[in-house]
Amino acid sequence: MRRGERKKRIFVNIAAVFLMIYIILPFIWLFISSISPKVELIATPPHWIPENPSFNNYLKLLGLQEASLSTGEIPPFNTAMRNSIVVALSSTGLSVLIGIFAAYAFARLEFRGKNAMLISVIALRMLPEIALVLPLYMIMQKLNMSDSKVFLTLVYMSFVLPFVIWILRSYFESIPVTLEEAALIDGANRWTIIWKIVFPLALPGIITTCIFCLLTCWDEFLFSLIFTTSYNAKTVTVAISEFTTRHMIDYGLMMAGGMLASLPPILFALVLQKYVVNGLTEGSVKE
């Protein structure tokens, strides 16, 4: 028995080491490539550890160092990052604001057509982006809103809002009704109940929802690819994909861009880890 335990512990430790390597190795390579000068990047065999590491790629991307004219224009990465932040924040903010009330109604109130509406909201969540991109494009042209962050913010709601309603509804349902009933009997109105009782109890859920929405918006690619033409609204995911279409492919620069684009969501998710795990289980298991 003891021997079995020991064997198992050794096995678990070895497996854990392998898992960590599997996770971290590509990240390390991402970082190493981003600080390798071009000559070392294309060396055969590869320089696993760069001899002359430099942060020039980062400086170039952040506009702190001039790039040579002939390399072609480096996309204004700061602007793309700013666009991503703005669009993700405003889309999430708007959706959560609107979604809280809808989710509450779905969880607590009775009204006609509730089930049908709820099912349609869930169905909307499943809808592929590709199904919406063309009609939204035509609408965008008619409204003369091409290349604008406002339009991106609004269309991002098409996938953020159903998610908010879905996940918050299950959070609200997990809060015991008795508290609200007691307050109702005491003569409190719905607004007071929502604000004073439900809201504080559902806070962790709301935070989780915000995290998920922000990350989904940050990750979004197709809408931004089609609906933007310039760095007036282009987001960071599109900026990165464009590195590959410019005629001189600078992998170091591309990797540096990848690092910069990954840092905000990764740090965010690491710091708020507890909520992420909560959200994953709540959002997927509770139906």
Partner 1 sequence: MKKTLKRTLGLLLVLCITVGLLAGCGSSGGSTAAPSGGEEAGEEVVTIRVMSSDDFAGFRTSVIAEFEEANPGIKIDFQSVGYDALHQKEVTALAAGSDTYDIVDVDCIWTPEYVTNGYIECIDDRLTDEMKTGIAPVAMDTLMYEGKYYGLPMFNDLFFMYYNKDILSQAGVTDMPATWDEFTEVCQQMQEAGLIDYGSAWGWAQAEGLICYYMTFLKGFGGSLTDEEHNPTVNLPENVAALQYMVDSLYETNISDPASVTSDDRMAIDLFSQGKTPFVINWSFAWSVFNDPEQSAVADKVGVMLVPGTGDVKSATCAGSMGLSITSTCKHKDEAWKFIEFLASKEIQKRQAIEAGALPIWEELYTDAELIEQHPALEAMLEQVGYAHNRPSLVWYNEFSDVLQVEIQNALTQNKTPQQALDDAQAKALEIQKKY
Partner 2 sequence: MKKNMARRGLDMGVHPYLYIAPALIALTAVVLLPLLYAFYLSLFKTQGLNGTFVGLANYISILKEDYFWESTGRTAYFTIVSVMLEFILGMLVALLLNEKFRWRGIARAMLILPWALPTVVNGVLWSWIFNSSYGSLNGLLSQLGLIDKYINWLGEPGIAMNCVIFADVWKNYAMIALILLAGLQTIPADYYEAAKIDGANAVQRFFGVTLPLMKPSILVCLVLRTMEAFKVFDIVYTMTKGGPANGTQVISYYTYQTTFQYSQFGTGAALSYLVSLFILLMAIVYVRLITGKGNES
Instruction: Report the interface residues with partner 1, using CB under 8 A.
Output: 38, 42, 68-73, 85-87, 89-94, 96-97, 137-138, 141, 144-150, 153, 199-200, 203-204, 206-207, 210, 226, 229-230, 232-233, 242, 245-249
Whether 137 and 75 have beta carbons less than 8 Å apart is answered as: no
Q: Which of partner 2, partner 1, none interacts with 210 (beta carbon under 5 to 8 A by kind)?
A: partner 1
Does position 217 bind partner 2 by CB under 8 A? no
63: left (phi over 0), alpha (psi -120 to 50) or beta: left
Whether 248 and 72 have beta carbons less than 8 Å apart is answered as: yes
- Alpha helices, H only, 35-70: 38-41, 56-61
Binding window for partner 2 (CB under 8 A); candidates: 70-78, 171-179, 200-208, 220-228: 220-228
Q: Which of partner 1, partner 2, none interacts with 178 (beta carbon under 5 to 8 A by kind)?
A: none
Whether 283 and 230 have beta carbons less than 8 Å apart is answered as: no
- The gap from C-alpha 153 to its chain's centroid, in whole angstroms, comes to 14
Please give the residues from 65 up to 124 whose contact with partner 2 meets the rule CB under 8 A.
98-99, 101-102, 104-106, 109-111, 114, 117, 121, 123-124
Q: Which of partner 2, partner 1, none interacts with 144 (beta carbon under 5 to 8 A by kind)?
A: partner 1
Does position 50 bind partner 2 by CB under 8 A? no
Q: Which of partner 1, partner 2, none interacts with 277 (beta carbon under 5 to 8 A by kind)?
A: partner 2
Which amino acid type is present at position 17?
V
Please give the residues from 1 up to 40 whose contact with partner 2 meets the rule CB under 8 A.
8-9, 12-13, 15-16, 19-20, 22-24, 26-27, 29-30, 33
How far does the chain reach from its first CA to its final CA, in angstroms?
42
Residue 232 is classified by DSSP as T
Cβ at position 128, least distance to partner 1 in Å: 19
Name the nearest CA neighbour of 160 among 111, 225, 227, 87: 87
